[in-house]
Amino acid sequence: MIHVEKPTVEKLDGLKVSSWNIWEKEISEFPWFYDEKEICYILEGEVIVTPEGGQPVRFGKGDLVTFDQGLHCNWNILSPIRKHYKFGD
């Protein structure tokens, strides 16, 4: 499952998002498997992630996105992505 929300500044501060690592990727498409939960905050870019057997989920700058452990999906990066991310709980 993929959960997308527009977080408040307070929520981002509470999660300490600014201390998380940053990942960047150019326009591309690739399969991905989450062997653990990931939460990320999108700083730049736009993406469509399609879960295996599910409906596409579109998100971009300003979104806080959670990917459940065990998710098989396909990433389609529409414009270069830059995100803070954290794996695990």
Q: What is the pLDDT of residue 67?
A: 98
| Structural domain containing residue 72 | 2-87
Q: What is the pLDDT of residue 89?
A: 74
Point out the residues of the chain with pLDDT beneath 70: none
Angle at 55 between CA 70 and CA 35, to 5 degrees: 10
CB 40 within 8 A of CB 4: no
Spatial separation of the C-alpha atoms in residues 21 and 73, rounded to whole Å: 22
CA 64 to chain centre: 7
CB 64 within 8 A of CB 5: yes
CATH of the domain at 44: 2.60.120.10
Spatial separation of the C-alpha atoms in residues 81 and 78, rounded to whole Å: 8
